[in-house]
Structure 1
Amino acid sequence: MALFHKVLRGTYILRKCSKPTSALHPLLGIRFADYSSSLQKPVASPGKASSQRKTEGGLQGHHQKEVALDITCPEEKPDVSFDKAIRDEAMDHFRRLKDEIVNHWKGPEGRPLQEALLEQAKVVWQFRGKEDLDKWRVTSDKTIGGRSEVFLKMGKNNQSALLYGTLSSEAPQDGESARSGYCAMISRIPRGAFERKLSYDWSQFNTLYLRVRGDGRPWMVNIKEDTDFFQRTNQMYSYFMFTRGGPYWQEVKIPFSKFFFSNRGRIRDVQHELLLDKISSIGFTLADKVDGPFFLEIDFIGVFTDPAHTEEFAYENSPELNPRLFK
């Protein structure tokens, strides 16, 4: 009876643990392995017996080594340390903060300051992979109960971003919203170390430069500036972008002086000049009240200096509208 108990115990330990050593099953280990291997041995000539024995020994050792590497004991638990994860996260943020300080002294994006000041054009966003799409987010009137849908994916050959969907101006049946029908694509606010909000400095440029391909619909280009500690989500600067249908790309150039100030989608009577050294994000909105499918393909978004454009601000402010400007 005791012998039978030892046999069962050895078999249970063999199933539970990964390493089939003879120490775990002293009664079945070596002899059972030799017996099973002897059953599978083919009949060989005496001259080849030694070489075949060496080959089988090498294959058996290699097989045992693979088993020991691939199969793990279920009792072994992964070593998870929350303190180490927090420490690694803090070290990563301090490393990013050090890089920001070094780049600030060297110049924008780590380049020499003289080189950055002399550049005439700059690509801010381009779309060549999934990591470029992660810098953007899409939204629609579904957030208020509407029926519009919008999607963002990479274009052909990973050389552009394709914004597409369906616009629906049907108002939600909630008893509150009287109008609907918009889709938008908005860039994410850049973040530095410790999740600090960063901004873009375009003060040395005077024109927004885009290479797009659309279906003939008019879009609204929106630029937000970060001037306060808290981001003012309802205030932005906007201008129109008219696309033409067809297979050809078009280059859109919009001077920053043309962007008008709006709040909650309404153009304000008092206009303010866009502060180009505190740009937080840019976006594209479709709300032309034409139901149906749409698409907008974007190659890149950049800024450049147009020497022919000398206008500083395209809109006037009268003393009645803004007396503070005329004191």
Structure 2
Amino acid sequence: MKRAFSIVNETWKRVWSKSLPRGADKRREILLWDDLEKWACISDEEIGGMSHAKLQTSSETTLFHGRLSTNTPAPDSTNKNRMKYSGYCAIRSQPNRGRFGRVKLYDFSQYDALEFRLRGDGRKYIVNLQIESYRRDDLWQAFLYTRGGPFWEKIQVDFSDFVLTNRGYLQDHQMSFSREKVRTIGLLLADRINGPFHLELDYIKAIQK
């Protein structure tokens, strides 16, 4: 009887472990912040702006830091390609690609929120989710408010908090996004406050609440 129960128990464990997404644990989590090489760091410097940003490891954590500037370069004599607005720094995961270069999407259909363990600078960041769609400029965005100071904090951003934007503009027609079709995840700083920023990240997870 005990052996039969043991066999059933072990079988159930194997079935349960296979039913969990890869990288999940008993709390039904997906660890998203696992490979620095899969994340890109960008800023308006790439298009002629004056902000700059870096993404680098610091001991056992990852550091996103730099300086945000809303200043724009002076126009040249032809006044062509003049920048009217500037001031953003961002990091973004690269699309996961499988065989034949096909994009492997994140499936968050069984999850309720993203959880960040971070040490912030008191600034307001934006969480970006890009969904597989024919409109590549669409982003679902939600605010991420950080505290300043030396202490770590955990912040949960519910998927229900995300709103649809396109090229930075809030869309009149709002809809819930397809949680099983998340292409990339990112963080954006564009709070129009000139000066240095500093965001230390321990992990990003998709969680059930």
TM-score bracket, normalised by the shorter chain, equals 0.7 to 0.9
Normalised TM-score (structure 1) = 0.55
Identity %: 36
Q: Assess if the C-alpha contact under 8 Å between 1:172 and 1:180 holds in 2.
A: no
Q: How does 1:14-53 map to 2 (within 5 A)?
A: none
Larger Rg: 1
What residue is the counterpart of 1:165 in the other structure?
A: 66
CA distance in 2, matches of 1:149, 1:118: 37
CA distance in 1, matches of 2:155, 2:49: 30
Distance 1:196 1:245, change over 3 A: same
Tell me if 1:155 matches 2:40: no
Q: 5+ unaligned residues in a row in structure 2: which ranges? A: 1-13
Q: How does 1:98-117 map to 2 (within 5 A)?
A: 111-113=17-19, 115-116=20-21
Please tell me the residue identity of whatever aligns with 1:125. Answer: L
Please tell me the residue identity of whatever aligns with 2:196. Answer: P
Shift of 1:119: 5.2
Tell me if 1:240 matches 2:146: no
What residue is the counterpart of 2:85 in the other structure?
A: 179
CA distance in 1, matches of 2:183, 2:74: 34
- Partner residue of 2:130 out of 224, 236, 258: 224
Q: 5+ unaligned residues in a row in structure 1: which ranges? A: 1-105, 307-327
Q: Assess if the C-alpha contact under 8 Å between 1:144 and 1:172 holds in 2.
A: no
Higher relative contact order structure (alpha carbons within 8 Å, sequence separation ≥ 6): 2
Shift of 1:143: 2.0
Q: Which stretches of structure 1, 4 residues or longer, exceed 4 Å deviation after superposition?
A: 115-119
What residue is the counterpart of 1:122 in the other structure?
A: 29
What residue is the counterpart of 1:282 in the other structure?
A: 185
Shift of 1:118: 9.6
1:294 aligned counterpart, secondary structure:
strand
What residue is the counterpart of 2:198 in the other structure?
A: 295
- Report Cα offsets for 1:17-69 as digits up to 9, x if no partner: xxxxxxxxxxxxxxxxxxxxxxxxxxxxxxxxxxxxxxxxxxxxxxxxxxxxx
RMSD: 2.1
- Partner residue of 1:206 out of 102, 112, 129: 112
Q: How does 1:50-69 map to 2 (within 5 A)?
A: none
Shift of 1:142: 1.2
Q: How does 1:266-281 map to 2 (within 5 A)?
A: 266-281=169-184
Shift of 1:278: 0.3
Distance 1:182 1:118, change over 3 A: closer
1:134 aligned counterpart, secondary structure:
helix
Please tell me the residue identity of whatever aligns with 1:259. Answer: F
Q: Assess if the C-alpha contact under 8 Å between 1:239 and 1:258 holds in 2.
A: yes
CA distance in 2, matches of 1:192, 1:256: 26
Q: Assess if the C-alpha contact under 8 Å between 2:32 and 2:206 holds in 1.
A: no
CA distance in 2, matches of 1:122, 1:298: 17
CA distance in 2, matches of 1:213, 1:121: 24
CA distance in 1, matches of 2:202, 2:112: 20
Q: Assess if the C-alpha contact under 8 Å between 1:121 and 1:302 holds in 2.
A: no
Shift of 1:287: 0.8
Q: Assess if the C-alpha contact under 8 Å between 1:187 and 1:283 holds in 2.
A: yes
